[in-house]
Homo-oligomer: A and B are copies of this chain.
Amino acid sequence: MRNIRNPDKAIAGYPLTAQRQRLLELIRNAGGHIDAKELYRRASSADTSISLATVYRSLRLFQELGLVDEQRLGWSSHHYEIRSHAEHQHFVCHECGRVIEFQTPLIGKLVRSIQQEQGFNVTRTEFYLEGQCRQCCKDKREDI
Contact = CB atoms under 8 A, between A and B. Distances in A.
Contact of A129 (B120, B130, B134, B137): B120
A72 B124 CA distance: 14
A129 B106 contact: no
A63 B117 CA distance: 32
Nearest to A130: B124
Residue from A113, A120, A123, A124 with most neighbouring chain B CB atoms (10 Å): A120
Interface residues of A, number: 33
Interface string A111-132: 1011001111111111111111
**Number of this chain's copies in the complex:** 2
A127 B124 CA distance: 11
Residue from A74, A113, A127, A128 with most neighbouring chain B CB atoms (10 Å): A127
A46 interface: no
Contact of A131 (B74, B123, B127, B134): B123
Contacts of A123: 94, 130-132
B104 A132 contact: no
Contact of A134 (B94, B111, B118, B134): B118
